[in-house]
Amino acid sequence: MLTHPYLAGDGPVLLAHRGGSTEVVENSLAAIEHTRRLGVTYLETDAHATRDGVVVLHHDANLGRLTGVRAEIADLTWRELSSIADHSGSPPVRLDEALASFPELRFNVDAKSDDVVAPLAELARRNLERIGLASFSDTRLARIRALAPGVSTSTGQSETARLVALSRLPRGAALAARRPLAPTCLQVPLRHRGIPVVTARLLDLAHSLGLEVHVWTVDDPAEMVRLLDLGVDGLVTDVPSTAIRVLGARGPWR
């Protein structure tokens, strides 16, 4: 399986979901520091853009849940946003500053809005080995790939659904191979509406297409072990401290 420089390394990938949102305030400066302190290389995070085009790490479009301030990120300039603290006591984090301040970390960034695509793609284009991009929106991912050729991306919602469906067909791999894929990884939930998504057949199909498979969000140690035994390439988790103990007992991990 070909490996993109962003995903280079031995063993499965451990991605701290929003920096480990069960262990620290999600997507905060404290979360990034927590990720580094644990020795985790990959931080899964989310991005919105301010009114003046600054990419900030935040899951919700509105600040209310994490700051108590009912304002939309897209309505504020960075100067205005930088005066608002989240529950950890710091303002939202700029992605460009995180890249500069934490050179050992790699960021798996979910583009949460249309207006973040262009500035996020520009940062990714200049940091191909340190930024991987994701989105549920196939349209956003298409724009990202056009603006940042060579960037590592996950599959969008339609791409994912197609691969899951094909994995259940006898000739699924042959049918999938007829349509070249741009992504480097398949990032999927354990289940969708109660139906298992991550199966041995899906893994076989993804690997035959050169895609890594990362599963979210996995917090139970027994589930982590089961998935690793099944052959997944990465775990996205809210409890990176727990995942480290599981992965550390099994050999090298990224």
Q: Does residue 5 lie in a domain region?
A: no
Residue 226 has pLDDT above 90, yes or no: yes
Question: Is 59 noted as a catalytic residue in this protein?
Answer: yes
Q: Does residue 253 lie in a domain region?
A: no
Q: Does residue 51 lie in a domain region?
A: yes
Share of residues in the chain with pLDDT > 90 (%): 93
Question: Is 192 noted as a catalytic residue in this protein?
Answer: no
Q: Does residue 109 lie in a domain region?
A: yes
Exposed / middle / buried, residue 66 (Cβ in 10 Å: 0-12, 13-18, 19+): buried
What's this model's pTM, rounded to 2 decimal places? 0.96
Which tens digit of pLDDT belongs to each residue from 78-116? Answer: 999 999 999 999 999 999 999 999 999 999 999 999 999
What is the domain extent for residue 26?
11-248
Q: Does residue 206 lie in a domain region?
A: yes
Q: Tell me the mean pLDDT in the region 48-64.
A: 98
How big is the CA angle at 117 (ends 115 and 118), to the nearest 5 degrees? 95
Q: Does residue 30 lie in a domain region?
A: yes
Q: pLDDT-based confidence at 1, cuts 50/70/90?
A: low
pLDDT given for residue 45 in this prediction: 98
Residue 139 has pLDDT above 70, yes or no: yes
Q: Does residue 1 lie in a domain region?
A: no
pLDDT given for residue 180 in this prediction: 76
User: Following CA atoms 134, 138, 139, 142 in sequence, which dihedral angle do they give, to the nearest 10 degrees?
Assistant: 70
Q: How many domains does the chain have?
A: 1
Q: pLDDT-based confidence at 129, cuts 50/70/90?
A: very high
Share of residues in the chain with pLDDT > 70 (%): 99
Helix, strand, coil content of the chain in percent (nearest 5):
40, 20, 40
Q: Tell me the mean pLDDT in the region 157-175.
A: 93
A 10 A CB-CB count for 80 gives 14
**DSSP code of residue 232:** -
Q: Which of 34, 48, 58, 59 is catalytic?
A: 59
Average pLDDT, the chain: 96
Q: Which of 4, 17, 48, 58 is catalytic?
A: 17
Q: How far apart are CA 173 and CA 210, in angstroms?
A: 12
Which domain CATH number covers 173? 3.20.20.190
**DSSP code of residue 47:** E
Q: Does residue 254 lie in a domain region?
A: no
